[in-house]
């Protein structure tokens, strides 16, 4: 069955989903994003914060490409909770 969703609807859903995660993370004690991702990784993602940074930087770069903008240097992105602010900016076209 084909999905009939507009780009605006997909972005709205992404923003809603990100907001739910952000609210949950803010309620957790300590720095939850510093939690180890486990011993079986390949070394690129040592913490959950590393995984979040990877997801958010990919979103940002996809928007850069679709908007014909220079790619954002995401190497300096933090792996802490403020990463969500960059993620929210990523989907603004």
| Domain annotation covers residue 1 | no
What is the predicted pLDDT for the residue at 63? Answer: 82
What does the mean pLDDT of the chain come to? 79
Asked whether residue 16 is domain-assigned, the answer is: yes
Residue 22: inside a domain: yes
Residue 30 has which token pair?
Answer: 């300590």
User: Which range of residues forms the domain containing residue 15?
Assistant: 7-35+46-90
pTM > 0.75: no
Taking the C-alpha atoms of residue 2 and residue 61, their distance in angstroms, rounded to an integer, is 27
Q: pLDDT tens digits for 12-51?
A: 888 888 888 888 888 888 788 888 988 887 888 888 888 8
Total number of domains in the chain: 1
Please indicate, yes or no, if residue 85 is contained in any of the structural domains.
yes
Tokens of 60: 């940002």
What residue has token string 């790619």? Answer: 71
């Amino acid at each position: 069955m084909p999905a009939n969703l507009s780009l605006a609807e997909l972005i709205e859903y992404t923003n809603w989903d990100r907001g739910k995660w952000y609210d949950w993370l803010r309620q957790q004690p300590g720095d939850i994003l510093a939690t180890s991702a486990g011993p079986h990784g390949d070394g690129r993602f040592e913490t959950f914060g590393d995984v979040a940074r990877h997801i958010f930087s990919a979103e940002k770069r996809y928007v850069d490409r679709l908007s014909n903008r220079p790619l954002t240097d995401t190497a300096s992105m933090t792996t802490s909770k403020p990463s969500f602010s960059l993620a929210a900016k990523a989907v603004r076209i």
